[in-house]
Structure 1
Amino acid sequence: MTLSVAGSRLVDSAGTPVRLRGVGLGGWLNMENFITGYPANESAMRAAVREVLGEDRAELFFDRLLTSFFGPDDAALLAGLGINCVRIPVNYHHLESDDRPFEIIEHGFRHLDRVIGLLAGYGIYSVIDLHALPGAQNQHWHSDNPTHIAAFWQHRHFQDRAVHLWEVMADRYRDNPWVAGYNPINEPGDSSGRVVGPFYDRLVKAVRAVDPKHVLFLDGNTYSTDFSIFREVYENTVFVCHDYALAGFAHGGPYPGHTRGEWVDRAQLERSFERRTAFQRETGTPIWVGEFGPVYTGVPEVDQQRYRILRDQLEIFDSYEAGWSLWTYKDVGLQGLVSAGEPYMSRFGDFIVKKGRLGADRWGSTMEESATELAPLHRLMETEFPSWDPYPWGARYQIDDLIRHVLIAQALLPEYAELLRGCSDEDLIALADSFALARCVRREPLLDLLAGNLLAENPRGEDSHAEDPHGQNPRGDA
């Protein structure tokens, strides 16, 4: 069933077209602050937790969390929805240590191997996504970046390590037909625009030398929006766009309606999609939207508008035969199909509310939190440096990044870790198990929307592998 590119489509080994449609497994092997409720970046969070719990008990907690976060019941649920692909973000820290570069941590593959196998058992493909690279390939928390500098593009050492990691991974999965392919760099942010293209040339050559068969899924520069950096159309390659709708952000306005001065309706969504997929359509390569999806607010009338955004996007993707990967599967209530239950939410619920009040997470922030306090700084910068327009999204975003999403977020780290102080081993296991599907809360309208879209085309689940091969309830309901 190994996939390959045939013109504008992916096909299996029998030549049958396969449109990959599924979810991203965000917050798992690459933890993110808004997904599991901590502040700042993953490495800083883990260090703060180790300070409180000690090395061994921190490892107990995190390993149990990784085990509980995705298991057989999760695979069954996704299969029942009609999903045929899961994009799996990975942090390089699982596979290599900064103090021992180029030495592969074999033990670090255990959860990735486990979940690829679970998904394969349900006929679901995996796309392996290196979401955090040595030195950080973009400016934000989701590359495990504690600063606002993407040092990956400034140091050949980091690039060498990334190539080596992908040579190892390509060798490991080269004969696995249920690995759809490799997504080597999530959302690169090369501010110069001069390094990323040549680096892709080098990386593609290195991976192809080890594994010439698997599909490469390559993100454009500037967070998968700029494809001008590609100097050639590589063989057996999908060029991946991300397509978040402006009205679906936390600060998004009504839909249809105005968001930050721009009218957003279905026609605007389609224009945005066409702009973001122009390179793919011009080159005749497959279209795959590697990330998209609205943020939910808990306000029923607003969330109904968010579901409408998602429904319209899915219909647009269908009309262009585009594959997609919805962000994200599981979290603490912002975007997930399902969200963590008890006792985690009781212990960390007030802290998550405080993070929201301070706007300490970019994803989920309305940009209005702490606005009164920050207004003098914004006025100062606008007055003194009116032409300052830093990469990637300008002065307002840069100031918020530095003050709220770095400074305030890092100040919150000890407070998060202290909430674990005094926990017994049994308490830590119970907290981690709050992310097990049996304890999660399901976002039923979202589950129904996805199943309606996916199963409508394949009522018996032939292409989507929606039928549970183990004979369980395909939706995984109790």
Structure 2
Amino acid sequence: MKRATIGFPVQRRTLMGIVLCVGLLLGLLTGSRPVVAQQLSMLHAAGSKILDANGREVVLRGYNVGGWLLQESYILQTDTLDCQWRIKQGLLRTMSEAQMEEFYRQYRANFITKADIDYLAKLGFNCVRVPFHYDLFLTDAQRRARTQVMRSPQNVAGYVQNLSKWYDENQLFTDKNMEGFRQLDNVLNWCAANNLYVILDLHAAPGGQGADRNINDNFVPLDLWKRRDAKGRLIYQDVTVRLWEKLAARYRSDARIALYDLINEPHKMDAANGLSGDNRELSALYARLINAVRAQHDQHILLLEGNGYGNEYTNLTPDKLAVRDKSNLAYNAHRYWCPNDPTATDPNPNQINLLHNLVAFRERWQVPVWVGETGENSNEWFAAAVQGLNAQNIGWCHWNIKRVNSAAGLLRIKSYGSLLTAEGRAALLRNVQFSNCIPNRDVATALTQTSSFSAPFLPHAIPGTIQAADYDLGRAEVAYHDAFSAKTDYRDNTPWNQGGAYRNDGVDINTSPDGTFAVSHLTTGEWLNYTVTVSKPGAYDVQVRVQSTAPGRLTLKMEEATIATLPVSQGTSPEQWQTLTLQTQPLPAGQHTLRLCVEQPVTQLAWLRFTPAAVVAPGG
């Protein structure tokens, strides 16, 4: 990538943006709110809808707090470590187990706090999904036994033997002051103070519900479905049922909880992995879990997740479940990297991540459907996805609230170094705190505004300098046009932002060595809009900082009128930047939309600087 040395320090521009957009962030949903504040009451399913105790429909739209009670490597940019237990394994090379546990206590205390939940409420969301790891409900001694497997993975059999013993002696999940209960109680209190519902999500089930250990932190793939103890029992399943029994006994009358998400994203349950391939194993465990929760006199809505990362429901439809009480069930989809076209269909009616199939499944079985995870894409995809779901009155929960150095989360965690060093850990504990995170305002806009919405990303005045990357907030074809702005095929890994910096739109943005930004990969037909305020009417000189490896051409328009055209000559080297000057037509005073159009491609664009045109004296 070509990088530029340009413009103002990024810290100053970030501060300006925060000051400008405080009002926008606090009022994003005004006039187009996808959710409304509610007084919390126990929810129940009635046909295809979720209703509160007064019979009013509640459409749950919110955010996941992933990476908190279960670390996923990519959220912290520790991808080479691949999952939480391998992160812990790395930490144990240089610290004691007690030190490692203390670090995790501090991490959990800092990563999500009431300030984060308050922020979600201010943006207008009405629920929070809480992914958690079962090991937080183990005693310290029981967790130490699991840690021994991290030290020596061949110790899995010994851990399973211990689980069997604890299960038979009723020593699992009996301490009401366990870390897991404390953390859930905290978030329930924070959410209730904001009238937000909570979804309890068993994200890392005992043994692991799939093959991807980053998702479920398993030691052996699919052990939840396969591992038997010395008595021939599927012991991890027994432990999972016991955990939900204890959760139901504690929370059975708690109206703050909207849904129990029984098992997150079962996957790879197929013949190639020694399983039935028709969800037989998943159906049997769901029957056990449903019966176990209902035996605790708990009528919370139970969310089922299909095979294939939560989407495929063969033998899991209500007619196939071997349970007496089929009330208060809901069905989940996880929507990533798929089309948002409402006419797109999957030939398997039980595969429900496409909008058409999701609606058809809801109507066929008369059950509520809910998208428990969606995201990991561009703002354009986010907006199209949630607007498509909103149009069908289907709730959703976006993934994920925070990520390290990512424009795709609601909050950006600053880089911290290495988790395996004391300095890196100290920086991480600081950086994950809400007050130290950077709001990604364009993400919030994509999730909460209408398709026609547009607003300034930063204030732009003429005369003055406009950084090219500070184009307006809004969807593709409203705030900008780019040749590729969303991933709709999971097999296509083309980045929507080819520079990967600053913003999460289709616009390609590079970072320069001084921390400022330049729009890159500008191709014919692309354009960017800027809301500008012209202080005085008249013509202006415009300096344009540009880089091009071939002759290019840019046009400036105000509303529909062309105000200037700029031929761009080829640089003498690929790294050469040019500052070119042209003069505009007379500009009217007031607020206007300035559009930068690419008539012929240029490589990068850093900024445009407007100054009043020099007045030429008569006869001069």
TM-score by length of 2: 0.54
Match of 1:31 among 57, 66, 71: 71
User: What is the aligned partner in structure 1 of residue 482 from structure 2?
Assistant: none
Q: Aligned pair in 2 of structure 1 residues 199, 277: CA closer, same or farther (>3 Å)? A: farther
For residues 265 and 201 of structure 1, what CA distance do their matches in structure 2 show? 33
Secondary structure in 1 matching 2:45: strand
Are residues 1:199 and 2:199 paired? no
Structure 1 residue aligned with 2:332: 240
Quote the offset at 1:40 in angstroms.
Answer: 1.3
Contact 1:64 1:433 in 2 (8 A): no
1:340 alignment counterpart: 413
Partner of 2:449, secondary structure, is helix
Deviation at 1:194, TM superposition (A): 2.1
Partner of 1:384: none
**What CA RMSD, in Å, does the superposition of the two structures yield over aligned residues?**
2.2
The residue aligned with 2:83 is 41
Match of 2:48 in 1: 8
8 Å CA contact 1:64–1:429 kept in 2: the answer is no
SS in 1 for 2:178: helix
**Are 1:110 and 2:188 matched, yes or no?**
no
1:284 matched residue in structure 2: 366
Q: Partner of 1:219 in structure 2?
A: 305
- Equivalent position amino acid for 2:361 in 1: F
Counterpart for residue 507 of structure 2? none
**Which deviates further from its counterpart, 46-55 or 281-290?**
46-55
Distance in 2, Cα, partners of 1:129 & 1:437: 22
Instruction: Specify the SS of the correspondent of 1:51.
Output: coil
1:441 aligns with 2:438: yes
How far off its partner does 1:146 sit? 4.3
Report if the CA contact (8 A) 1:220-1:229 is conserved.
Answer: no
Aligned equivalents of 1:265, 1:223: Cα separation in 2? 18
Structure with the greater alpha carbon radius of gyration:
2
| Deviation beyond 3 Å, 4+ runs, structure 1 | 97-100, 264-271, 427-430
Quick check: which one's strand share is greater? 2
CA–CA distance in structure 2, aligned partners of residues 138 and 211 of structure 1 = 30
Deviation by residue 1:15-74 (Cα, 9 ceiling, x = unmatched): 111000001111111110111222211112113213312223222221111111111211
Q: Does the 8 Å CA contact 1:137/1:143 hold for their aligned counterparts?
A: yes
Structure 1: unaligned runs, 5 residues or longer: 247-263, 296-305, 349-415, 457-478
Partner of 2:236: 158
Contact in 2 for aligned 1:269/1:313 (Cα 8 Å)? no
Q: Residues 185 and 218 of structure 1 are in contact (CA less than 8 Å); yes or no, is this contact kept in structure 2?
A: yes
Q: Hey, what does 2:448 align to over in structure 1?
A: 451
Which consecutive residues of structure 2, in runs of 5 or more, have no partner in the other structure? 1-40, 147-158, 228-233, 271-275, 320-325, 347-353, 454-620
Distance 1:165 1:320, change over 3 A: same
The residue aligned with 2:578 is: none
Question: Could you report, residue by residue, the CA deviation over 1:217-248 in whole angstroms, capped at 9, with x for unpaired residues?
Answer: 111122112111215352101111111124xx
Query: C-alpha displacement at 1:451, in angstroms?
Result: 3.3
Report the alpha carbon displacement of residue 89 of structure 1 after superposing the two structures with TM. Answer: 0.5
Q: How do 1:38-117 and structure 2 match up within 5 A?
A: 38=78, 39-96=81-138, 97=142, 98=146, 99=159, 100-101=162-163, 102=167, 103-104=172-173, 106-108=177-179, 109-117=181-189
2: distance between equivalents of 1:198 and 1:25? 29
Deviation per residue, 1:439-462 (Å, 9 max, x gap) = 0111110112223369x9xxxxxx
Q: For residues 385-400 of structure 1, what are the structure 2 equivalents within 5 Å?
A: none
Q: CA deviation at 1:429?
A: 4.6
Q: Is the 8 A contact 1:294 1:309 kept in 2?
A: no
What amino acid is aligned across from residue 402 of structure 2 in structure 1? Answer: K
Following superposition, the deviation at residue 276 of structure 1 comes to 4.3
User: How far does the alpha carbon of each residue in 1:181-203 deviate from its partner, in whole angstroms, 9 at most, with x for none?
Assistant: 20010011222222111111111
Deviation string, structure 1 residues 372-429 (Cα, Å, up to 9, x no partner) = xxxxxxxxxxxxxxxxxxxxxxxxxxxxxxxxxxxxxxxxxxxx52x33xx5xxx845
Which range moves more in the overlay, 278-287 or 109-118? 278-287
CA shift at 1:166, angstroms?
0.3
- Whether contact under 8 Å (2:343, 2:356) holds in the other structure is no
CA contact 1:183–1:217 (8 Å) conserved in 2: yes
Deviation, structure 1 residue 265 = 6.5
* Aligned-partner residue type, residue 103 of structure 2: F
Partner of 1:431, secondary structure, is: helix
Which secondary structure does the structure 2 equivalent of 1:213 belong to? coil
Residue correspondence of structure 1 range 398-437 to structure 2 within 5 A: 417=420, 419-420=421-422, 423=423, 428-437=425-434
Report % sequence identity. 29
**Which stretch of structure 1 is more off in the superposition, 196-205 or 90-99?**
90-99
Q: Tell me the distance in 1 between the aligned counterparts of 2:344 and 2:184.
A: 34
State how far apart, in whole Å, the 2-side matches of 1:176 and 1:310 are. Answer: 32
Deviation at 1:270, TM superposition (A): 7.6
Letter in 2 for 1:186: N
Q: 1:429 to 1:176 in 2, by over 3 A?
A: farther
Matched to 2:195, the amino acid is: G
Partner SS state of residue 259, structure 2: strand
Match of residue 319 from structure 1: 391
Per mean C-alpha deviation after superposition, the further-off stretch among 210-219 and 317-326 is: 210-219
Equivalent residues, number: 351
**1:346 CA drift (Å):** 3.8
Describe the superposition over 1:308-357 as per-residue Cα deviations: whole angstroms up to 9, x where unpaired.
1111111110111100011111111343100212xxx1423xxxxxxxxx
Is the alpha carbon distance of 1:283 and 1:231 closer, same or farther for their aligned partners in structure 2, counting shifts above 3 Å?
closer
- Asked whether the equivalents of residues 200 and 257 of structure 2 are also in contact (C-alpha less than 8 Å), the reply is yes
Secondary structure of 1:53's partner? Answer: coil
Please state how far the C-alpha of 1:269 moved relative to its aligned partner. Answer: 6.1
State the TM-score, normalizing by the size of structure 1: 0.69
Alignment partners' CA distance in 1, 2:317 and 2:42: 27
Tell me the equivalent position of 2:589.
Answer: none
Q: Note if contact 2:130-2:200 (Cα within 8 Å) is conserved in structure 1.
A: yes
Match of 1:143 in 2: 216
Read off the aligned partner of 2:86 and give its amino acid letter.
A
More helix per residue = 1
Between 121-130 and 214-223, the greater mean CA deviation after superposition: 214-223
Matches within 5 A, 1:363-374: none
Q: Contact (CA 8 Å) 1:181, 1:215: kept in 2 or not?
A: yes
Aligned mates of 1:229, 1:242 — CA distance in 2: 19
In structure 2, the CA distance between the partners of 1:267 and 1:280, relative to structure 1 (3 Å rule), is closer
* Gap change, CA 1:121 and 1:44, over 3 Å in 2: same
**1:199 counterpart letter in structure 2:** L
SS of structure 2 residue aligned to 1:339: strand
Instruction: State the alpha-carbon separation in 2 of the partners of residues 3 and 240 from structure 1.
Output: 16
